[in-house]
Amino acid sequence: MGLKDDVIRWLKEEEIDSEEVPVPPGAPVEWALNATVKAPLKVMIGVQKPKTKVDRLVLSMIVKVAEQHRSALMSMSEKERAKLMNRLLSNVTSLCPSCIIVFQPQLDIPDTIVVSKVIYDDDIGPMSLGESVRTLVNEYAIIVSFFNSEVAKADQGPSTVMHM
């Protein structure tokens, strides 16, 4: 049994569904899984084993920023937008200082926000995998609740959600 089988088993033990994702030829990934957390929030997390950095697993979660939230950000002054997004970045990094956080294409008006957590060989196991998944679920909750409470107006329609 290899690491991928162990990861699938550990996720199943945490009651997290997983499915293998086809890896395109030439991709710098040995294998990839989509893991779906069902409770307390439905969140999809990607689990990847890089080819070039074989001493680690990378878990990632992507949030798609709703168009009305992007529009609301664009309508703000540059200073107001910078303060707001700085507060979000501070909230996200304070939960997980070791996470890699990317606002795409730019910090002040993102389309998506990617949060990744790296687990290194010495720490790869059911406990660290479960902890990393819980951290990413909490990051999702922070990001979505921030946009829905700080950026949105009650009558704006669909909210910022998980990108699948």
Residue 11 phi, psi (nearest 5): -65, -45
State pLDDT tens for residues 22-62. 999 999 999 999 999 998 889 999 999 999 988 899 999 99
Classify residue 11 by its DSSP letter. Answer: H
Please give the tally of structural domains in the chain: 1
Q: What is the pLDDT of residue 157?
A: 54
Please name the residue ranges forming H helices in 49-77: 67-75
What are the Cα distances from residue 140, in Å, to 30, 43, 56, 157?
Answer: 26, 8, 22, 19
Position 164 pLDDT exceeds 50: no
Q: Does residue 132 have a pLDDT over 60?
A: yes
* CATH code of the domain containing 43: 3.30.1460.10
Mean pLDDT, range 105-118, rounded to an integer? 95
- Lowest mean pLDDT of 28-32, 86-90, 148-152, name the range: 148-152
Domain that holds residue 79: 3-162
| d(C-alpha 153, C-alpha 68), whole Å | 9
**Cα separation of the two ends of the chain:** 29
